[in-house]
Amino acid sequence: MYENRCFFDLTYYLGYVICILMTNPAKKKALVASGTLNPHPEAVQSDLFKMDFFDPWDRAQVKYEMLRAHSVDGDPVAEACRQFGFSRESFYQIQQAFRQMGFSSLLPAKRGRKGPVKLKGEVLEFALEKKKEDPDIGPGRLAALIRERFGTDIHRTTVMRGIKKKRRSSA
C-alpha cells in the first residue's frame, strides 16, 4: 500500500514538474510582457491542466477555467478555488468582473494612474490664491490644502511646476 502511494506521488509530482518545465519560453516571455504570467502555476490542481492545451502559467486561462468549472460543470466555489489556486474572495471578484466586462476582465488592468495629474482649473486657481495670500507657503503645504479642499492627491512637485508654469504664461 505504501509503495503504491509513494509511486503515485512520485509519478504525479514528476509529471507535473515536467509539464511546468515544458512551457514554451516564447510563450512565457509573452505572458510576462502582457502581465498574465501566473505566479503560482504549482497551485493549479485541475486535471485539465495536465493536457498540453491548458497552461497553468497562463493566468487568464486559469481564471476562465475556474469560472467555467463552477458555472458549467457545477463545481462548488470552494472546490473550484482549490483546483485553480485562488481564494474564494478572488473567485467572487473575478466572477463579478467577468459578468460586467467579459473576457477583457481576465487580463490585468494597467497599474497606477490612468492619465497624468495636472494642476489646472479651479485647483490651480486655489493654489495661486493661497500662494498670493502667503508667499512663503511651500508646495508640500499647498498639496495638503488641495487634498483637504478637493480630495485630490497631488504631489508637491506637481504643485510647484504648475505654479511656475502659470507664472511664466501670465508674464
8-58 per-position pLDDT tens digit: 444 444 444 444 444 688 999 999 999 999 999 999 999 999 998 999 999
Domain boundary among 106, 138, 158: 106
Same structural domain, 77 and 23: yes
Q: Does residue 112 form part of some domain?
A: no
Within a domain: 12: yes
Instruction: State the pLDDT at residue 59.
Output: 96
Write down the pLDDT at residue 112. Answer: 67
Question: Does a structural domain hold residue 113?
Answer: no
Residue 75 lies in a domain: yes
Q: Which pLDDT score is estimated for 120?
A: 79
Domain residues for the domain of 95 are: 2-106
Task: Give the span between the Cα atoms of 84 and 63, in whole angstroms.
Answer: 8
Identify whether 49 is part of a domain. yes
Q: Torsion over CA of 92, 89, 65 and 40, rounded to 10 degrees? A: 160
How many structural domains is the chain composed of? Answer: 2
Cell matching residue 21: 518545465
Are 67 and 15 found together in one domain? yes
* N residues, the chain: 171
Do 23 and 84 share a domain, yes or no?
yes
Look up residue 87 and give its amino acid.
S
Cα–Cα distance for residue pair 71/52, rounded to 1 Å = 23
User: Who contacts 86 (Cβ-Cβ below 8 Å, separation ≥6)?
Assistant: 63, 66, 94
Q: What angle do CA 107, 110, 112 make, to 5 degrees?
A: 150
The pLDDT of residue 151? 87
Task: Enter the pTM of the model.
Answer: 0.56
Contact 38, 44 (CB under 8 A): yes
- Below-70 pLDDT ranges, the chain: 1-23, 112-118, 170-171
The answer to the question of residue 114 being in a domain is no
